[in-house]
Amino acid sequence: MTPDPIIQTHNLRKIYGMGDIQVNALDGVDVRINQGEFVAVMGPSGSGKSTLMNIIGCLDRPTEGRYFLDGEAVSELDKAQLALIRNRQIGFIFQSYNLLARTSALRNVMLPLIYQRNGNLPNSEREEKALAALEAVGLADRAHHVPTELSGGQQQRVAIARALVNDPVLILGDEPTGNLDTKTGAEIMVLLHELHDRGRTLVMVTHEAYIAEQTQRTIVLRDGKIEMDNHNGSRQGASVSFDASDRVDDGYRESNADGVTESGGAGDRSS
């Protein structure tokens, strides 16, 4: 049986600057990523990696082409609809963590649940889910610390917990280990591998070949096109069968329900 695609794009294009100078940030990208895959996206600076991730992550819309997320044609949706899809389906991890600075780890992780429109969870239940997500990343004992009281690796783990709390179908990372030293980056990779082993679908941008090699498949972009799409050695293969009850609770998105955040996502809007 062919696994279901979580991501399917057809001739995706993104053109920036409609004036004299146009940049074809994405120039016809066709990609299919199946449930349970762990994929690395590589390529030189400016090749379109973040642009692709932002479209896949419903933070931005393509200029042309179609994108199906878990079977739904999301390229046809407006920004408000995209925000809802993003909140429900996607956990995004950024290079610079994007946590609210004066807000506790627990509260940061709760944000996607607070922005959730339907579902209206009671606060106690939000807290419970957020704590469970923090526990899953080994940070339950830091729940009441603010980001400045945490190390870079710990902050990224909070961001991962936030990316998990809504139980998304897809976890995306735009250089999630990019700001971390090698050892801390390796710890984050262990976490991402655990999520993958539990059946999650993960796509992450990295500049590091040794990190890409740990995934199942590497997609290389150049000038907005897919230059290479290879399976990586031994980790290639079967998606783990997946029991929904097994999923860690997760989420991200401090984006407001009515707007898509700027490219790169949620800024620091601490109160």
Q: With CB cut-offs between 5 and 8 Å by kind, which of Mg ion, ligand ATP, none does residue 23 bind? A: ligand ATP
Q: With CB cut-offs between 5 and 8 Å by kind, which of ligand ATP, Mg ion, none does residue 43 bind? A: ligand ATP
Q: Order of strands across the sheet with 38-42?
A: 90-94, 170-174, 201-205, 38-42, 217-222, 225-231
Q: What are phi and psi of 266, to 5 degrees?
A: -65, 125
Residue 164 CB-half CA count within 13 A: 28
Query: CB atoms < 10 A from the CB of 20, how many?
Result: 5
Nearer to ligand ATP, 175 or 250 (CB): 175
Q: With CB cut-offs between 5 and 8 Å by kind, which of Mg ion, ligand ATP, none does residue 185 bind? A: none
* Residue 91 CA, distance from chain mean position: 4
Q: What are phi and psi of 36, to 5 degrees?
A: 90, 0
Rounded Cα distance, 226 and 99, in Å: 32
Report if residue 155 touches Mg ion, rule: CB under 5 A.
no
Pick the piece of the chain touching Mg ion (CB under 5 A) from 5-13, 32-40, 43-51, 66-74.
43-51
Q: How far is the CB of 34 from ligand ATP (least distance, A)?
A: 23
Q: How far is the CB of 46 from ligand ATP (least distance, A)?
A: 4
**Residues engaged in binding ligand ATP (CB under 6 A):** 16-17, 23, 25, 43, 45-51, 263
Report if residue 50 touches Mg ion, rule: CB under 5 A.
yes
Burial class (CB in 10 A: 0-12, 13-18, 19+), 141: exposed
Pick the piece of the chain touching Mg ion (CB under 5 A) from 35-43, 45-53, 215-223, 238-246.
45-53
Report if residue 166 touches Mg ion, rule: CB under 5 A.
no
Query: CB atoms < 10 A from the CB of 128, how many?
Result: 14
Q: With CB cut-offs between 5 and 8 Å by kind, which of ligand ATP, Mg ion, none does residue 216 bind? A: none
Q: How far is the CB of 119 from ligand ATP (least distance, A)?
A: 32
